[in-house]
Amino acid sequence: MARPYICLLALAAMLLLGIATISRSRGLRDKAHQSAPRIPSQFSQEERVAMKEALKGAIQIPTVSFSPKELNTTALAEFGEYIRKVFPTVFKTSFIRHEVVGEYSHLFTVHGSDPSLQPYMLLAHIDVVPAPDEGWDVPPFSGLERNGFIYGRGTIDNKNSLMGILQALELLLIRNYIPRRSFFIALGHDEEVMGVNGAQKISALLQARGVQLAFIVDEGSFIFDGFIPGLKNPFAILEQTPMPNMFGDGPMKMALQELANEFSFPTNLFLSNMWLFRPLVSRLMERNYITNALVRTTTALTMFNSGIKVNVIPAVAQAIVDFRIHPAQTVQEVLKLAKDIVADDRVQFHVLNAFDPPPISPYDDQALGYQLLRQTIQSVFPEVNIVVPGTCVGNTDSRHYSNLTTGIYLFNPLYLQPQSFRFVHGINERISVQAYERQVKFIFEFIQDADTDPRPVPHLHEL
Ligand SMILES: *[C@@H]1O[C@H](CO)[C@@H](O)[C@H](O)[C@H]1NC(C)=O
Ligand SMILES: *[C@@H]1O[C@H](CO)[C@@H](O)[C@H](O)[C@H]1NC(C)=O
């Protein structure tokens, strides 16, 4: 997930439809009605060892994006060689076309047997943010395993997805799998620094070929465990003049209503009677720094420069502000609000880089991508009993693909506890070996689910 640093009064935000889920135990649902014989997602001991070793090897290649012009191209090239070595079947299968785009990004076109089915796309990225050694229990590019966890930069953002996708495909191909529905795998190499040479070029290539996608699945959201109950732990808001609370616009309100029954008294009462308790729920969401980002445009002063010498009064001061825009607002609205709050003619505003939040992806009964994800989540994570649409705060490469589809879903099949949130771009980023195996299993199942018609949806309220 990218965090742009390069914005002068920048309005950079991305709130796509993600999928939030909450865990609670509940049995397996009815099995999908399937046409092709299903390949069970069971892996041998040898395969499981090879799987985690492949991830460790990927972590050891320091594919760092320092800035849009400063990427470790040696590492990016090495990474291209590495995936050829660890996933030989993917590269030699006749119905898979592999192309290198923008020098270091990779596009795989997996041709399905039924051209009448609209293709979909899986996204992941090769690059990672920098990781100075300080504070890490093990060196950040060592890929060392400790107490069942693989440590290193990229273990959850986003080499887990990248390696998981190719690994699942490799294992399916070894089992002679032939997909019915075509799909693309796009691996960008500069996602952390805007994706201009990777994702943007892949998207242009596919647009030139006239490709239209049923949906896209990218990193972004997780299986949230303990996030909303976390509302009990208030967190100070540092902003003096925050942007207006937009709670009630966008999928968040619906998600909370769907989740109402999952909570004990009195939260369930509040959530299922939003007509009355909306202001209260909205205030509660504001009090936690994570949920706060879901109800309003967030404002972060990331850089401030003034002065050149201790005994010279500076003539100019310059500040860089990074906004993440709520889906119900636009760049222009946020800019106007900021100007009104500052209300000082001496301050000039320059937009360094900005894009409006994309439209909300469909999540109704007919939304293929959403329903397939639901189905796979419920079979691979049977303890998760509710899948709800959500809002994802953060940028991903997916924004470059908005011309190719209306359905962009951000979901990483991993548990995320509030305390793990800081691993993303932080120190001691890590993934448990078990969680990674489950991620591979998820993709293995998902690719097969995409070949079947999604089963009829049980209505959420009946759960
Ligand atoms: C770039 O990657 C190579 C390995 O591919 C590594 O040897 C080198 O130290 C890296 N450079 C930086 C600046 O991280
Ligand atoms: C989408 O298509 C329009 C019209 O062809 C083009 O101007 C725009 O740049 C495209 N956007 C992306 C993100 O590719």
Query: Which pLDDT value is given to residue 458?
Result: 53
- Give the number of the ligand closest to the Cα of residue 133: 1
* pLDDT of res. 248: 62
Query: Which ligand does the CA of 397 lie closest to?
Result: 2
Distance CA 127, CA 297 (A): 27
Single-letter residue type at 94: S
Q: Is the CB of 400 under 6 A from ligand 2?
A: yes
Q: Are 65 and 192 in contact (CB under 8 A)?
A: yes
Digit-coded pLDDT (tens) for 175-200:
999 999 999 999 999 999 999 999 99
CATH classification code of 32-219+395-449: 3.40.630.10
Atom of ligand 1 nearest to the CA of 74: 5
Q: Which of 462, 409, 448 is nearest to 32 (CA)?
A: 448
Distance 1 CA to ligand 1 centre (A): 21
Rg (CA), the chain: 22
Q: 105-110 and 96-101: which strand pairing?
A: antiparallel
Q: Which residues does ligand 1 sit against, CB inside 6 Å?
A: 61-62, 64, 72, 74-75, 78
Phi, psi of 125 (to 5 degrees): -135, 150
List beta partners, residue 296. none
Higher pLDDT, 231 or 57: 57
Catalogue the active-site residues.
127, 191
| Closest CA to ligand 2's atom 2 | 403
Which atom of ligand 2 has the smallest separation from the CA of 207?
A: 14
Q: Which of 395, 442, 449, 393 is nearest to 415 (CA)?
A: 442
Segment 403-429, tens digit of pLDDT: 999 999 988 888 877 667 677 788 999
- Centre of ligand 2 from the C-alpha of residue 209, in Å: 14
CA–centroid distance, 127 to ligand 1, in Å, is 13
Which region among 44-48, 61-65, 360-364 has the lowest average model confidence (pLDDT)?
360-364
- 3 state SS of 395: strand
Given the structure tokens 């242009």, which residue do they identify?
204
Q: Is it the case that residue 445 has pLDDT exceeding 50?
A: yes
State pTM to two decimals: 0.79
Residues 204-220, mean pLDDT to the nearest whole number: 95
- The reported pLDDT for the residue numbered 357 is 72
The three-state secondary structure class of 106 is strand
Please give the distance, rounded to the nearest whole angstrom, from the Cα atom of residue 122 to the centre of ligand 2. 20
pLDDT digits (tens, 9 = 90+) for 243-290: 666 666 666 666 767 766 666 666 777 777 777 777 777 777 777 666
212, 405 Cβ separation under 8 angstroms:
yes
- Supply the DSSP string of 78-113, one letter for each residue: HHHHHHHHH-HHHHH-TTEEEEEETTTEEEEEE--S
pLDDT-above-90 percentage for the chain: 49
How far apart (Å, rounded) are the C-alpha atoms in residues 113 and 187? 23
Which sequence spans correspond to the domains of the chain?
32-219+395-449
Nearest CA-CA partner of 77 in 97, 88, 62:
62
